[in-house]
Structure 1
Amino acid sequence: MTDSDALDRLTSSAYQQALEVIASVEPRIADATRQELADQRSSLKLIASENYASPAVLMTMGTWFSDKYAEGTIGHRFYAGCQNVDTVESIAAEHARELFGAPYAYVQPHSGIDANLVAFWSILAHRVETPALEKLGAKNVNELSEADWETLRHELGNQRLLGMSLDAGGHLTHGFRPNISGKMFHQQQYGTDPETGLLDYDVVAAKAREFKPLVMIAGYSAYPRRVNFAKMREIADEVGATLMVDMAHFAGLVAGGVFAGEENPVPYAHLTTTTTHKSLRGPRGGLVLAQEEYAGDVDRGCPMVLGGPLSHVMAAKAVALAEARQPSFQTYAQRVADNAQSLAAGFLSRGARLVTGGTDNHLVLLDVTSFGLTGRQAESALLDAGVVTNRNSIPADPNGAWYTSGIRLGTPALTTRGFGHDEFDRVAELIVEVLSGTEAGTTKAGGPSKASYLTADGVAAKVKDAAAELLDKHPLYPGLEL
């Protein structure tokens, strides 16, 4: 028996016993857990923000670190008995610093939005609160008079933020009005060229000069191209803005060295935020990387924004970041990017329309209007065929953010399963087959519907069978039997 076989048997035994323990209390949860694995094993997962964490990462979350309160930071907690949490947080932060070459890493955020909130308020503290306190001769806000506090509070709540618009590929947390980021700041947004769908740095610079934001956000959740962060920093410096980069989607490509030089945001951003799942293949959570000048402000994330850190998730982050520091992860990251190219080429060769005409990162954005569908209809029809995607806005989307005109597809998850060029070309073929065989439905009043759809008889079943053939060649968690 090889070491790998022995580890597979150990992993299977551990999960089988864990599920038996869960079932002894609430069998429906154990059943749902087994079913979730079965569903993930039997579907083509193409959601760009999802991946498969290793058994080691998953197991790390199921420990008694879950039971511990640990507000504060390393060596300075508001609760006693946190010495082991200090160890875990220190290890996770060390791996994050070394992996990304960052001066400082804060691993407590529970999610990407929490990481962004910590970054926002760190900038406000550094750029607005601290200078105001120094001017007033106060050590902290508790020493301010009510009048001075009201003045400062008003100033904190009226700063300017410039971020990428949602339909151009930005994220909700980059100043979208319904999101807290859009309510915290006086915000404006930059888009992409209406003809090419690409960022125009001259236009971004002109917008920044006109608006003069305190915070400028770069990064994306649905922009299928790379960004020159040196240029973004140059723009931010010119107008006196703090550059914040949200690399939640492409952090794995940074960690794996695919994005290097001016395409690596960490050396250029004052603060860089990310999730630890997605292309990093870790647990659901977030982290903040910072230059030295912002380290002290970020370190106040709890109690400034966060409550008790999730110590069990910080432990899982440490394991995932340790995995990402292995040479094999660099190979994986390059394959993610290569596979995205293959997926894009597969669509283009079959006449499908891609936003920006292709990709050079980990995702493609498919414009489904050429199929006569909305994003919601396309997403639902594909799900029926065993292909899991998510609908997504495209630039100047006529269908808005709910129905949308596109679907976003990413390669990280299926690359983890071992898919390569030929499989992703076949995936593109299957998706085009479903969309070509689907038409929009009608409303009860007889008009065109943005939600209902009709797929030709047999298409969904045929594609699901073809998808199963691909998936059977690349099993998920091979050796794990439940």
Structure 2
Amino acid sequence: MSDNTAQVPNSELVSSAYRQALEVISTVEPRIAEATRQELADQRASLKLIASENYASPAVLLTMGTWFSDKYAEGTVGHRFYAGCQNVDTVEALAAEHARELFGAPYAYAQPHSGIDANLVAFWSILAHRVETPALEQLGAKNVSELSEADWEKLRGDLGNQRLLGMSLDAGGHLTHGFRPNISGKMFHQQQYGTDPETGLLDYDALRAKAKEFKPLIIVAGYSAYPRRVNFAKMREIADEVGATLMVDMAHFAGLVAGKVFTGDENPVPFAHVTTTTTHKSLRGPRGGLVLAQEEYASSVDRGCPMVLGGPLSHVMAAKAVALAEARTPEFKTYAHAVADNAKSLAEGLMRRGAKLVTDGTDNHLVLIDVTSFGLTGRQAESALLDAGVVTNRNSVPSDPNGAWYTSGIRIGTPALTTRGFGADEFDAVAELMVHVLQNTQPGTTKAGGPSKATYQLADGVADKVKDASAELLDKHPLYPGLNLA
């Protein structure tokens, strides 16, 4: 990929590879082959604004479709529970090497299957390092299997009695940062920090006060719907003051860290004890996760399989290595800066047309629109925009009156369309189209005649008009140009 478009080097070679692959699939289940063709067509024809989605390169995509899928490889490099893993060792070592070099991390673990898995590995690694290992040392045991039943029951109680402080869901945090219905909210005694009710910005003094009162073992920083940067030096100061481990989930903005958009105090890796991320989203790789850690946590993280994970997905680790190699190029740095610049253009275009944004703008890759100013719920806005070919996702806003299902917000991001080559002018045009849809959408009514949070009415002709205008933008920046499946 180049810095700003999903190019297809050797396009005829790549096209031939995909055509032949689909022909092979068609001999077994033609409906899957057709759905695959249709998915490419649908993605080519829509304005993808979901902040957590992107487009991986053909090299990354092709890497996943190999016989590495057939290998079991529990364990770590050079220490597997299955024979014949020498090539998997090469793949995993390369993925970890690229991750360490890209992020400047002392240690990298490439096995997590997803961002949630990466967070689970991090949580249990911190528990192992902070609670289990000291207990074993005190009891003179090498591992938990050597403990008496009484000592094991006590240790289990200690492991399950720890505290976690994470960002609340409506303030922009993720489900895995201690949300009660999620396993993270069940593993720990949890409390959550939010944002300033007036500005929507993180209040570090309030966070510090809550941490001193609650005294958590883990403070989780990072976000999935907070449109601003975080000062991770301050987060580490707070963690150190209360003796907490600082864990940062940078799944959303890892590409901005890799591309040197976030540097200094805004780069979490030097300050966090443990950092987790996905490899898709702004990193533009395969769906999967990574854990980065300071040296003292390395041995605990290395036990992710079988502590939390099943067998590593070797074919995906191979694709991670390819994507991380791409992210180490100068072109990726240019791309990452364009993502942030485009987000500002999109935010300014929306506000100029009357849209209300959480924090009145953005300085990362995402924008959060409060659609109550249009008289809509997030679900109504998401559906109306989709009717017009604009793909977004509904999202909570701080102190959301509509809850986590209907929501009051729409979250959008610039990574995917920046990959296609969109720039400031195109994102301003996207803002115009979105506001036009929202201004021409009315909430529906329930069967009883009351206001509905789900149904809506989009004015006649709006969807077609926006689709036509979108098509003009998309045609200028085709997805995977040169890739021809016909």
| 1:70-469 aligned within 5 A | 70-469=73-472
Task: Name the CA distance, whole Å, in 2 between partners of 1:431 and 1:154.
Answer: 52
SS at match of 2:247: strand
| 1:20-35 aligned within 5 A | 20-35=23-38
Give the structure 1 partner of residue 68 of structure 2: 65
Deviations 1:112-154 (A, max 9, x none): 0000000000000000000111111111101111111011001
SS at match of 1:331: helix
Q: Equivalent of 1:12, from 11, 15, 21? A: 15
Q: TM-score, normalised by structure 2?
A: 0.98
Q: What letter matches 2:247 in structure 1?
A: M
Q: What letter matches 2:183 in structure 1?
A: I
Deviations 1:2-31 (A, max 9, x none): xx8870010000000000000010000000
Task: Name the CA distance, whole Å, in 2 between partners of 1:156 and 1:36.
Answer: 45
SS at match of 2:33: helix
Task: Name the CA distance, whole Å, in 2 between partners of 1:209 and 1:325.
Answer: 39
Task: Name the CA distance, whole Å, in 2 between partners of 1:464 and 1:215.
Answer: 47
Contact 2:64 2:315 in 1 (8 A): yes
Q: What letter matches 1:343 in structure 2?
A: L
Task: Name the CA distance, whole Å, in 1 between partners of 2:462 and 2:376.
Answer: 16
Q: What letter matches 1:266 in structure 2?
A: V
Q: What letter matches 2:461 in structure 1?
A: G
Task: Name the CA distance, whole Å, in 2 between partners of 1:404 and 1:378.
Answer: 10
SS at match of 1:94: helix
Task: Name the CA distance, whole Å, in 2 between partners of 1:192 and 1:6.
Answer: 45
Closer, same or farther: CA 35–5 of 1 in aligned 2, 3 Å: closer
Task: Name the CA distance, whole Å, in 2 between partners of 1:456 and 1:347.
Answer: 20
- CA drift of 1:158 comes to 1.2
Q: TM-score, normalised by structure 1?
A: 0.99
Task: Name the CA distance, whole Å, in 2 between partners of 1:107 and 1:158.
Answer: 29
Task: Name the CA distance, whole Å, in 1 between partners of 2:306 and 2:72.
Answer: 13
Give the structure 1 partner of residue 482 of structure 2: 479
SS at match of 2:324: helix
Task: Name the CA distance, whole Å, in 2 between partners of 1:158 and 1:45.
Answer: 43
- CA drift of 1:461 comes to 0.7
Task: Name the CA distance, whole Å, in 2 between partners of 1:409 and 1:306.
Answer: 31
Task: Name the CA distance, whole Å, in 1 between partners of 2:9 and 2:255.
Answer: 29
Q: What letter matches 2:471 in structure 1?
A: A
SS at match of 1:154: helix
Closer, same or farther: CA 436–140 of 1 in aligned 2, 3 Å: same
SS at match of 2:112: coil
Question: Deviating runs (4+, > 2 A) in structure 1?
Answer: none
Task: Name the CA distance, whole Å, in 1 between partners of 2:469 and 2:343.
Answer: 20
SS at match of 1:343: helix
Q: What letter matches 2:386 in structure 1?
A: L
Task: Name the CA distance, whole Å, in 2 between partners of 1:154 and 1:394.
Answer: 36
SS at match of 1:476: coil
Q: What letter matches 2:484 in structure 1?
A: E
- CA drift of 1:307 comes to 1.2
SS at match of 1:373: coil
Q: What letter matches 1:369 in structure 2?
A: T
- CA drift of 1:280 comes to 0.1
Give the structure 1 partner of residue 3 of structure 2: none
Unaligned runs of 5+ in 1: none
SS at match of 2:235: helix
User: How large is the RMSD of aligned CA atoms in angstroms?
Assistant: 0.7
Q: Equivalent of 2:56, from 46, 50, 53? A: 53
SS at match of 1:113: helix
Task: Name the CA distance, whole Å, in 1 between partners of 2:111 and 2:456.
Answer: 43
Task: Name the CA distance, whole Å, in 1 between partners of 2:412 and 2:399.
Answer: 19
Q: What letter matches 1:114 in structure 2?
A: D
Task: Name the CA distance, whole Å, in 1 between partners of 2:426 and 2:371.
Answer: 22
Task: Name the CA distance, whole Å, in 1 between partners of 2:150 and 2:302.
Answer: 28
Q: What letter matches 1:303 in structure 2?
A: P
**Paired-residue identity, %:** 86
Deviations 1:399-442 (A, max 9, x none): 00000000000000000000000000000000000000000000
Closer, same or farther: CA 5–207 of 1 in aligned 2, 3 Å: closer
Task: Name the CA distance, whole Å, in 1 between partners of 2:115 and 2:280.
Answer: 10
Task: Name the CA distance, whole Å, in 1 between partners of 2:399 and 2:242.
Answer: 28
SS at match of 1:221: coil
Contact 2:99 2:108 in 1 (8 A): yes
Contact 2:54 2:280 in 1 (8 A): yes
SS at match of 1:273: strand
- CA drift of 1:51 comes to 0.0
Q: What letter matches 2:359 in structure 1?
A: T
SS at match of 2:373: helix
Contact 2:8 2:480 in 1 (8 A): no
- CA drift of 1:335 comes to 0.1
